[in-house]
Amino acid sequence: MKNKFLVVVVVFLLGVFVKVSAQQDPQYTQYMYNTQVVNPAYAGSKEALSLGLLYRSQWVGLDGAPKSFTFNAHTPIGYGKTGIGLSIVRDEIGPSEETFANVDFSYTIQTSEKGQLAFGLKAGANILNVDFTRLNISDPGDVFENNIDNKINLQIGAGAYYYTDRFYMGLSVPNFLESDHFDEASIENADASAISKERLHYFFITGYVFDLSENVKFKPAILTKVVTGSPLQIDGSANFLFYDRFTLGAAYRWSASWSAMVGFQITDSLLLGFAYDRETTDLSKYNDGSYEFYLRYEIFKNKEKVLSPRFF
């Protein structure tokens, strides 16, 4: 029974047995440390050279469950109005492996004494590979006869990001190009060149930092993701920062999961984060939850950024 369920899960994720209307991009619990991946306007906003690594293992215990690896780097250049960055994402689901590589560019306008508005562009490509021999198929044929080898699709995205030292808000579309990976005609003709279709992803993020005391900060935050043909995703989180060193928080993904997060500012430049998700759906019966690990290293341009770090 469990093996049958695993096959159903993988099939549902890939969309290879049914007509697929949308494919979701990878999701993250610690999205507040991974903003650049979804919004290019964030590049350069830290006023430092920032390097980040994130690993996510989703639905641990399920064969073919998603695994995501993310690397991002960004820095301001010139007089600080311009930012540039690089983001690389590798997403593995069942027999499929997809790699995204993008260059991010931003330009920032000073709107007030403390407020800044950045506009960003993202450009790059993704490479898709699918090895159907990894699946146990009872009736092979048609779409399963041809693997997908290094299928390349271009990506172009944009975003806007407004922030002060306490508040931030962003709106973005990481990719405007709706590439066809798989359609009904390719099934009928047994000529599968891919397995699904990209859809526009709209991201809205916002958060505010409150000083509860001299040594305790509180940051509620929200991420909303809208994708045509997929359920609305809303992530709400609440994080507490103690003595500018230790972060403790919780999050809820609407109709999907609860999460716990913890972070350690090991040095002025090095941050380590961990998150655990537990499903609230029936899927929780078949897996041991999801895990995320995050590592960020920053090279500060001036000492003030070390003494008064921004909580986003």
CA atoms within 13 A on the CB side of 155: 29
Q: Which residues are within 8 A (CB) of 23 and not within 5 positions of it... i.e. 6 or more apart? A: 15, 181, 196, 197, 198, 199
Residue type, 309: P
Q: Looking at the domain assignment, is residue 114 inside a domain?
A: yes
* Residue 312 within a domain: no
- What does the alpha-carbon distance between residue 204 and residue 311 come to, in Å, rounded to a whole number? 18
Angle at 22 between CA 280 and CA 64, to 5 degrees: 55
In terms of residue numbers, what domain contains 187? 2-307
202 found inside a domain: yes
Helix segments in 15-146, DSSP class H: 35-38
Find the CATH number of the domain harbouring 61: 2.40.160.40
pLDDT of 45-97, one tens digit each?
Answer: 988 899 999 999 999 988 889 999 999 999 999 877 999 999 999 999 988 89
Q: What is the pLDDT of residues 125-150, one digit of tens each?
A: 999 998 877 776 666 555 566 778 88
Would you state the structure tokens that stand for residue 30, as one six-digit string? 């610690």
Q: Is the overall model pTM greater than 0.75, yes or no? A: yes
Top-confidence residue, 259 or 30: 259
Of all helices (H) and strands (E), which one includes residue 125?
Answer: strand 116-130
- Per residue in 198-207, pLDDT (tens digit) is 778 999 999 9
Domain count, the chain: 1
Q: Are 7 and 132 in contact (CB under 8 A)?
A: no
Lowest mean pLDDT among 97-111, 115-129, 221-235, 248-262: 221-235
